[in-house]
Amino acid sequence: MEYGLIYLILAAIFGLFMAWGIGANDVANAMATSVGSRVLTIKQAVFIAAIFEFAGAVLAGGEVTNTIRSGIIEVGLLEDYPEELIFGMLAALLAAGTWLLIASTMGWPVSTTHSIVGAIMGFAITGLGWGAVHWPVVGSIVASWVISPVLAGCVAYMLFRSVQLLILDRRDPITSARRFVPLYIFATGFIMTLMTTLKGLQHVGLELSTAESCGIAVIVGATLAVGGKLVIDRIPIDPSLDREFHYTNVERIFAVLMVITACAMAFSHGSNDVANAIGPVAAVLTIVQSGEVAGKAPVPIWVLLLGAAGIVAGLLMLGHRVIATVGREITQLTPSRGFACELAAAGTVVMASSFGIPVSTTHTLVGAVLGVGLARGIAALNLSAVRRIFLSWVVTLPAGGILSVIFFHIMRISFS
């Protein structure tokens, strides 16, 4: 291929740019509840996110990558025109990255999944027509954007209600917190480990049976619970702290759990959303190496590492703006509320990742935050902030598509 090396270099640069946008916008969503509830500082959140986003992207990011790369459009229509697919994927990366840069600068928590899916659809419809899009696959993705926040919202609502019933509404909430928080820690470790080992590790050559996955999940959950229990038992109780807010000491116990769920949220986000950046890069790499359009091919580790590195860089440079929007503006968060948000969202996202469905982490987490807010009554929600967030979601899909069409034609002209 005449421009093969140039295509690869552009794919790497644009993929890094897109991953940077994911870090600036979506990772902020993943860590926002931890910062909003004052369990973690921005610096601590960035440190945790850097480690667990990287791990999630590399260990469990392969399934969704295949959907982004070849599931949304009929790549077979481009068998005789492999360079057209290269132009399209490069345009999609540049378009989605540009939109994320704009949104992150404004502090809007938009969906990176919306951005890249809209961009891929935009170039496909322009270059090949409406029939090039796999509408059933797109339909399932769109449905997941509605289902995932509703599901996460319902789970978060039930989780926080269980916290209210088992701990907050009891006569001695501190004793109840010491008893039940380790069980919530076990549940977090068990759910995240089970969903990852059942499906997410196949592409790194590690296939486990259901029994083996359950055994590992129990060991991880139990280890975290015991470790959490030891930390909780060492937290000193200061009655004077409860004068202004009756549950201050209880929330300090929940802060231990919040750190665990923050790690889980970062891991789940890396497993799902890294595909938004590296799916198109993997498609370009496959075409340049083979000279033909392939529906599926293994994702090289260096491509996963590229996406993971970009995500961490974006979080470090611009993530604080969106953290402020999601963590502080929708509803007032405490560790007990934030834990319910993060566990509900993380579980929903990792489950979707294991099935290869690219859901929106933004939608899922915002849905969970709304669920916790509703558990406290509609008055606990900042409805003007919610309206602004919803509006930015509506604009994202067409914005990605329109920018992709423009960049697609620029690519065509440049290399023709």
As a whole number of angstroms, the distance between CA 248 and CA 240 comes to: 10
Handedness of CA 408, 410, 414, 416 (dihedral sign): positive
Long-range contacts of 409-415 (CB under 8 A, 24+ apart): 409/126, 410/91, 411/87, 411/90, 411/91, 412/87, 415/3, 415/83, 415/87
Is residue 60 pLDDT above 70, yes or no? no
- Please give the average per-residue pLDDT across 7-17, as a whole number: 92
What residue segments make up the domains of the chain, in order of their start? 4-415
pLDDT for 61: 60
Of 296 and 375, which is predicted with more confidence? 375
Are the CB atoms for 369 and 152 separated by under 8 Å? Answer: no
- Please give the average per-residue pLDDT across 338-366, as a whole number: 77
pLDDT digits (tens, 9 = 90+) for 106-164: 877 787 778 888 888 888 888 778 888 888 877 877 787 778 888 889 988 998 899 98
pLDDT for 241: 74
Q: Residue 16: which pLDDT band, with cuts at 50, 70 and 90?
A: very high
Is residue 350 pLDDT above 80, yes or no? no
Residue percentage of the chain with pLDDT more than 90? 17
Backbone angles phi, psi at 133, to 5 degrees: -90, 135
